[in-house]
Amino acid sequence: MSFASDASLFVHQIDATNDRLLLTQLSEADFRDASFLDQRLLQAQVGQQQRAMQWGDWSVIAPQSVGARDDAQFIFHIGHVGSTLIARLLGEAADTLALREPQLLRQFAEFAMLEGEAHSPWPPGRTAERLPLARQWLSRTFRPDQRALIKATSFVNDIAPQLMETSRKAVFLKLSAQRYLQTILAGDASRQELVAFSPTRIQRLNAHIREPAFKLWELDEAKRAALGWACEMAALEATSNNNVLWVDFDAFLAQPAAQLSKIAAHLDIALSDDQAQQLVDGPMMQRYSKAPEHRYSSQLREDMLAKAVSERGSDIRAALDWLEQAAKSHQVIAAALARD
């Protein structure tokens, strides 16, 4: 079977220094089990067969045959809004191969941010030239009747327009600003992410605003969480079109079977109402999707959010006020709040 039609040889990541690709051998079960297809894939040793190949070795790695698959659809999100859970549930459909957070797309997003900069590993134009090929690689499935569903990491939101183009369907997952702040401030891991990701997010939001409107040193932890919400929502708003279904995660949890059916219908995934009900009644809704060995539930989530309100309520209110003030000066933030 050729590379163009075989999903088992997974293009995992780019070695930009040497202009190489790292490829990993994965089974269909490996895709189903892996919470993420980023660097954690190798750490977990899901794929045992790995090799590096040069980009220029087109005879092996490039899908040059007529009619190469390029029909992947997408889940984009603002982070910590149930995207891994929903991707896992949809991946149980017989006609869907779910790919959760492929490292390849995150690297393309990073290269896009560096476009034209002196320290970019790629010359201008190379990211745009190679991105469609990467999407073709990620569109490959194990059977002709499957379609790939890519759940990207939130940092990929800025290249969502290039990935979706004009006709590809996608789901955008969100939370209200208030609930998002509660979520981020409720957990140690999400607060650590906030420290790591805020510098990049402030760059990205300023790029959407087209001016250096915000400075990281002026923002406390809660306002940095608000900035993260504004950054990711602005990126999604810039991409939204008639082929996008917006889903609020709180609304999903209120009616999971109905919402799952609605999402599946939008993405043309064959999933009956009875199947949707069976899935949300099953073990996936009782496990932490990013680490299924841990139990989790909607009630546990609510308890954590209530604790964040109790301990950080004044900080959250101040951060929401900061967002409202920012929206008065910046239309991209106003548009995000209008979607709230």
Residue 53: the pLDDT is 84
Residue with the larger pLDDT of the pair 242 and 69: 242
pLDDT, average across residues 296-308? 91
Give yes or no for residue 288 having a pLDDT over 80.
Answer: no
Give yes or no for residue 3 having a pLDDT over 70.
Answer: no
40 pLDDT band (50/70/90 cuts)? confident
52 pLDDT band (50/70/90 cuts)? confident
Residue 47: the pLDDT is 45
64 pLDDT band (50/70/90 cuts)? low
What is the side-by-side order of every strand in the sheet holding 50-54? Answer: 9-15, 20-25, 50-54
Question: What is the Cα–Cα distance from 335 to 209, expressed in whole angstroms?
Answer: 12
- Burial class from Cβ neighbours inside 10 Å (0-12, 13-18, 19+) for residue 123 reads exposed
Write down the domain spans for the chain.
68-339
Looking at every residue in the chain, the average pLDDT score rounds to 91
pLDDT, average across residues 127-146? 92
Question: What is the Cα–Cα distance from 126 to 228, expressed in whole angstroms?
Answer: 28
| Closest by CA position to 77, among listed 86, 89, 64 | 86
Whether this model's pTM surpasses 0.75: yes
Question: What is the Cα–Cα distance from 238 to 232, expressed in whole angstroms?
Answer: 10
pLDDT digits (tens, 9 = 90+) for 129-138: 999 989 998 9
Give yes or no for residue 304 having a pLDDT over 90.
Answer: yes
For residues 296-322, one letter each, b for 16 or more C-beta atoms within 10 angstroms of the residue's C-beta and e for the rest, the string is beeeebeeebeebeeebeebbeebbeb
Give yes or no for residue 60 having a pLDDT over 90.
Answer: no
pLDDT, average across residues 176-194? 96
Give yes or no for residue 292 having a pLDDT over 80.
Answer: no
pLDDT, average across residues 170-181? 98
pLDDT digits (tens, 9 = 90+) for 68-109: 789 999 999 999 999 999 999 999 999 999 999 999 999 999
DSSP structure class, residue 287: B
Other beta carbons within 10 Å of 261: 21
pLDDT digits (tens, 9 = 90+) for 206-215: 999 998 999 9
CATH number of the domain at 68-339, please? 3.40.50
Give yes or no for residue 164 having a pLDDT over 90.
Answer: yes
Question: What is the Cα–Cα distance from 17 to 301, expressed in whole angstroms?
Answer: 42
- Burial class from Cβ neighbours inside 10 Å (0-12, 13-18, 19+) for residue 49 reads exposed
Residue 124: the pLDDT is 96
The most confident of 16-25, 136-145, 257-266, by mean pLDDT: 257-266
Percentage with pLDDT > 90 across the chain: 75
Range of weakest confidence among 154-168, 293-307, 311-325: 293-307
